[in-house]
Structure 1
Amino acid sequence: MIVVPVKEGENIERALKKFKRKFEKTGVVKELRRRQQFDKPSVVNRLAKERAIYVQKMQRVEE
């Protein structure tokens, strides 16, 4: 459960913004979208491999 402490006299908009940030970090929405459709294990593995290759290329460019 996400708890956002609100200080005395604090604006409700600021408290909502804190809540939204904490909720984003939990990754609930991302997980729900991922579960809406089934991806074959071979597709998941291929995408993970492509992402790893991309990350390695980006790291080499930085060096």
Structure 2
Amino acid sequence: MLIIPVKEGENIDRALKRFKRKFDRTGTKRQLQTRKQFTKPSVEKRAQIQKAQYIQRLRDLENI
């Protein structure tokens, strides 16, 4: 659970901004999105291979 202490006289928008930043850094939202639906291990592996091929292609074009 995230706890954001709000100082006396502090603007609520500033406290909300601190909360959002802290929430993003914990990775909770990303974790919830991945749990939302199941992806087969073979599909995940294929996606990793495609990403690696794409990055390698960019590096090869950069070196040419």
TM-score computed with the length of structure 2 as normaliser:
0.70
Distance apart, 1:58 and its partner CA: 4.0
Q: CA RMSD in A?
A: 2.3
Code of the residue aligned with 1:33 in structure 2: it is Q
- Relative contact order, CA 8 A, sep 6+: which one is greater? 1
**Displacement of 1:26:** 1.5
Gaps of 5+ in 2: none
Which residue does 1:26 correspond to in 2?
Answer: 26
The alpha-carbon deviation at position 4 of structure 1 amounts to 2.5
Paired residues in the alignment total 63
Structure 1, residues 12-54: CA drift from partner, whole Å, max 9, x if none? 1011011011111212122112112111111010001112222
Q: Which amino acid aligns with 2:32?
A: L
In structure 2, C-alpha distance between the alignment counterparts of 1:4 and 1:61, rounded to whole Å: 47
Q: 1:56 to 1:6 in 2, by over 3 A?
A: farther
Q: TM-score w.r.t. structure 1 length?
A: 0.71
Query: Is there any run of 5+ residues in structure 1 with no aligned partner, and where?
Result: none
Q: Percent identity?
A: 52
